[in-house]
Amino acid sequence: MSPSTGSPSPSASSTDNSPAWLAEFVLLAAIWGGSFVLMRLGATEFGPMATAFLRTLVAACVLLPLLLLRGQWQALRQHYRPIAVVGLLNSGIPFACYAYALLSISSGLSSILNATTPLWGALIAWWWLHDKPNASRILGLCLGFVGVALLASGKASFKPQADGSNSGLAVLACLLATLCYGIAGSFTKRYLTGVPPLVTATGSQVGACLGLGLPALWLWPAHTPRPQAWAAVVAVGLLCTALAYILYFRLIARAGPAKALAVTFLIPVFALAIGSVLLGEPISLWMLLCGLVIVGGTALATGLLRLPIFST
């Protein structure tokens, strides 16, 4: 996944240029790549809403004691309203959207669509925060969304299948999730700058958990989920949310925000590989080519890649 919660700590300004952070970078990409497979395993038994709720519940139970140990409870109380909004935008809605989408499309396709998160972030920052992109970044925005359109045209169909799946709605759900991530990024920058990252991360999981509680209870599965499904939702909450947040903010502090953002581009590699090995999901050449277009556009849109012709 692609979280937008939290502001970099002051130490983030002094980046570590050594390769020591590379192991955590790759580990984080692998963890988030595996989250799509785990969410799919959970959603097939629990349904989308209960899966999202359990993910945030597990993460909140892990992060909250860390927050208390660091004595940051007062900061959470002071900023709980905007943090709750971030929780819904950055966890509650996206987690439910991905859990729903993964019932109809592969984890690899979902992860490629997830790579559009920085595109939405750049577009919303342009509109809301008046962070006007240069010509290179505008080209990247256009290129990225063209890649999404091409990918969706080859994979999305709004005709319901016999098993109830609908790939068109699944693609839209993924894009809604990344749109929420983009909104959360600008919202955080505007209203939560300077708030400790652990406070925002913990509070957002608590807020998302509370927001998802009633819908999850209403839509709780009538049958008893298998132990494999319970293991999947616990793992996605513990590893892919709680631990991943800690690694992500450590990466920001050690390597800087720009390098931390680049993890988005590596996530589909692991998601495609894990989905293919564990679930037997097919990987088409068209999917890979569209994924390259999306990643290239995102790299331009975020400024991680610059074209010399647009250097001025």
How do the domains of the chain map onto residue ranges?
Answer: 45-310
CA torsion angle for 67, 255, 191, 58 (degrees, to 10)? -40
Select, from the ranges 82-96, 124-138, 270-284, the one with the highest average predicted confidence (pLDDT): 82-96
The pTM of the full predicted model, rounded to 2 decimals, is 0.86
DSSP SS3 for 312 = coil
Per-residue pLDDT tens for 217-252?
999 999 999 999 999 999 999 999 999 988 887 777
Quote the DSSP letter at residue 161: P
Sign of torsion over alpha carbons 234, 236, 241, 246: positive
CA torsion angle for 225, 100, 111, 140 (degrees, to 10)? -160
Per-residue pLDDT for 110 more than 60? yes
Per-residue pLDDT for 13 more than 70? no
Residue type, 249: F
Helix axis angle, 285-301 relative to 263-279, nearest 10°?
A: 160
Nearest-angstrom CA–CA distance, 251 and 292 = 24
With cut-offs at 50, 70 and 90, classify the pLDDT of residue 281.
Answer: confident
Report which of 73, 70, 79, 61 is spatially closest to residue 209, judged by C-alpha positions. Answer: 61
Nearest-angstrom CA–CA distance, 103 and 192 = 34
Q: Specify the range with the lowest mean pLDDT, choosing from 150-154, 157-161, 187-191, 294-298.
A: 157-161
Residue position matching structure tokens 């509650």:
92
Question: Cα Rg for the chain, rounded, in angstroms?
Answer: 19
With cut-offs at 50, 70 and 90, classify the pLDDT of residue 11.
Answer: very low
> Average pLDDT of 158-179?
83
CA torsion angle for 203, 122, 32, 42 (degrees, to 10)? 70
CA–centroid distance for 163 within its chain:
27
H or E, element range at 248? helix 244-255
